Structure 1
Amino acid sequence: MLERGSLDLIEQGEYIHKAVVVMVRSFVKEWKEFKFRFDVLHGCSTGRGIVAYVDGAWEEMKIPLQVLSVLDDLRIGMYVEDEGTWFSMLIHCNKAEGYTTKYNYKSKPIFDVEPTNETYAEDFKYFPRSPDLTPEWLRDKIAEA
């Protein structure tokens, strides 16, 4: 298992690139763009996205399990002591222009089935943050666990 906070910027980029390559290889026809969102807590994650094909069709992505595993590891490797790690990320990839990523460190992650308060508390235990960097919604979840 990857050690918390062990990835430098170059290694982080390699993880993102690997996830993008796995997603692209899963597309069934010629694509031009995709948007992917990954929401995660320790032991709980979900990914969803849409892909645009060159014929103009848009389709919900079928996310390979390997992508979820790679991005789980990325989150672990990006942990910063007392600052925590991200709760969700967005990848926007345009075949002609490359890809961008955005990380969410403050807002509550979105799941189809809401995790238990204990799951949020476990995530905080594994990825602790200083009080000033702990969002109020997360403090509430921990208090209710």
Structure 2
Amino acid sequence: MHLGRQLHALIPDGFDVITYTTSKTLSFYRETLVATSEDGRRESLLVDDEVTVLSSELRDVMYRQGPGTWFGAVVTVTSRGKLDAQYNYDDEPYWDFPVDPKTYVTDLETYPRDDAHMPEWLQQKVRDHEAGKTE
């Protein structure tokens, strides 16, 4: 995973783990990067552009007809090279403020889902957009 290698390269000296957390749609994203030392010390880091691009590419290649692609991910890499990744396909992504329902409709145009994989919150966003509601 290219993203994992890039994250590994960003682990600062004296730290053992780096954790990248993102909520993402085609047009909108939120991301954090935190390094943790063996003794529990934590440091927030700036997310570099390469990480942002690689996570978008990962979202793209993980798309599957039917279930779509993920809206959130937590990727953890250790200094020894162990990678763990968890993806959120079903729960509404976390944002710092309300996101216009059009954001999700636009995302679904590129990453369509079948009805069986449309969580209620996402169906509601589509209905809100069709009704002209904005957040």
Interval of TM-score (by shorter of Structure 1 and Structure 2): 0.7 to 0.9
Aligned partners of 2:12 and 2:35 also within 8 Å: no
Match of 2:88 in 1: 104
1: CA distance, partners of 2:80 / 2:11: 16
> For the Cα contact (< 8 Å) 1:29–1:53, is it kept in 2?
no
State the one-letter code of the partner of 1:120.
Y
Letter in 1 for 2:69: T
1:25-58 Cα offsets, whole Å, 9 max, x none, are 3344332112221110111112113211357531
Residue correspondence of structure 1 range 1-145 to structure 2 within 5 A = 14=1, 18-53=2-37, 56-96=40-80, 98-145=82-129
Give 5+ residue unaligned stretches, structure 1: 1-13
SS of aligned partner of 1:31: coil
1:42-87 deviations in whole A, cap 9, x for unaligned? 1111211321135753111211111011110111111111221111
Q: CA deviation at 1:126?
A: 1.4
| Per-residue deviation, 1:97 | 6.1
Q: CA RMSD in A?
A: 1.8
- CA 137–49 in structure 1, closer or farther in 2 if over 3 Å, else same: same
Distance change (3 Å), C-alpha of 1:52 and 1:90: same
Amino acid in structure 2 at the alignment position of 1:113: F
Q: What is the TM-score when the length of structure 2 is the normalising length?
A: 0.85
- Indicate if the aligned counterparts of 2:36 and 2:43 stay in contact, CA closer than 8 A: yes
- 2:18 is paired with a residue whose SS is strand
Which piece of structure 1 moves more, 25-34 or 133-142?
25-34
Q: TM-score, normalised by structure 1?
A: 0.79
Same amino acid, percent of matched pairs: 21
